[in-house]
Structure 1
Amino acid sequence: MPAVLDNPALAMYVAAAVALVVLAGFFWYLWSLDRSVAELRQKLDERPAPPTATPTLVPQRRMAQEQGDGNNIR
Structure 2
Amino acid sequence: MFFKLLLWQHKITSIEAFDLFKILAETWLDQILSLNIRTSLTANHTVEHKKEQINDQIDILRLASGLPASDLISTDKQR
TM-score by length of 1: 0.24
The structure number with the bigger radius of gyration is 1
Larger RCO, structure (CA 8 Å, separation 6 or more): 2
